[in-house]
Structures are given as structure tokens and as C-alpha cells.
Amino acid sequence: MAARTTTKTAPEPVPEYDFDSWNDDAEAKAIESLKPDVRYIIVEKRFIGRFVDGTIVEIPLSLSVDDIDELEAVSGNPIDQLKHLLTKLGGEKVAKDFTSHDLAETMFLATKYFTILQRIAGASIPE
């Protein structure tokens, strides 16, 4: 029988992290560098968003009190409510496009959408 030679592979080097110099400024810079480059525009009464991969979503900028009441009846889970609302306003494809993307991208566009709705409502309230 021939002698078998085995070679040991070198262990993967362990990365070194500098936890001691981590501070609020370093965190702010790191978060800013991770901010997704998603864009949106408003055309007529539609919010049009573009995800990082180029996927475009269009949602009407109209929401009724009945729509909000319906959300509460659907579920107490905010994710289920968001999915339901996206489906109701934009259809199955828009809901799927929103929910299949990175959470940071989805949250950014959803937050912008609701902020714009709030601004529209504030702008249309007579004094």
C-alpha cells in the first residue's frame, strides 16, 4: 500500500475589526454609504418610484378613510397591512415588486409615499 500524504489547508484569516474607535460619526458615515439609491417622482396623481435594480412602481396618490379602516380589519400586522394596501392601490404586480426588494429600499419608497400623501392632505385642508 502506498503511503497517503495529506496536506493541511491553512485556516482562513480572521478579519480584524476596530471596535474601539467606532463612534457615532463612524456609524453615521457607514449608514449614509449604505443608503439605497432609489428615486421617485410625482406625475399627475401618481407616485412613481424606481428601485436600485431599475424596477418601476406606480401607485395612485389617493387613499380614503375607508381604505384605512379596511387595513385595520385585515390584520394588526403592519407588513400584512402594507401588502394589502399596495395590492389594493397598485395591484398584485406593484405589491410583489415592493415586497421582493431589499427592506431598506422598500421602506424608503413607502415612507416617501406616505409622507407625500400627508403633505397633500395638509396642503388641501382649508383654514
Give the mean model confidence (pLDDT) for residues 109-121: 91
Helices (H), the chain: 24-34, 65-74, 78-90, 92-99, 103-124
Residue 38 has pLDDT above 90, yes or no: yes
> What's the pLDDT score for residue 6?
66
- All structural domains of the chain, each given as residue ranges with its CATH number in brackets, are 43-124 (3.30.2220)
Give the chain's radius of gyration (CA, Å): 23
Residue 12 has pLDDT above 90, yes or no: no
Residue 127 has pLDDT above 80, yes or no: no
Q: What are phi and psi of 102, to 5 degrees?
A: -50, 140
Q: What percent of the chain has pLDDT over 90?
A: 53
pTM of the entire predicted model:
0.73
In this structure, what is the dihedral angle of CA atoms 56, 77, 61, 120, given to the nearest 10 degrees? -130
> What's the pLDDT score for residue 121?
84
Which of 60-69, 94-103, 105-114 bottoms out in mean pLDDT, i.e. has the lowest?
Answer: 60-69
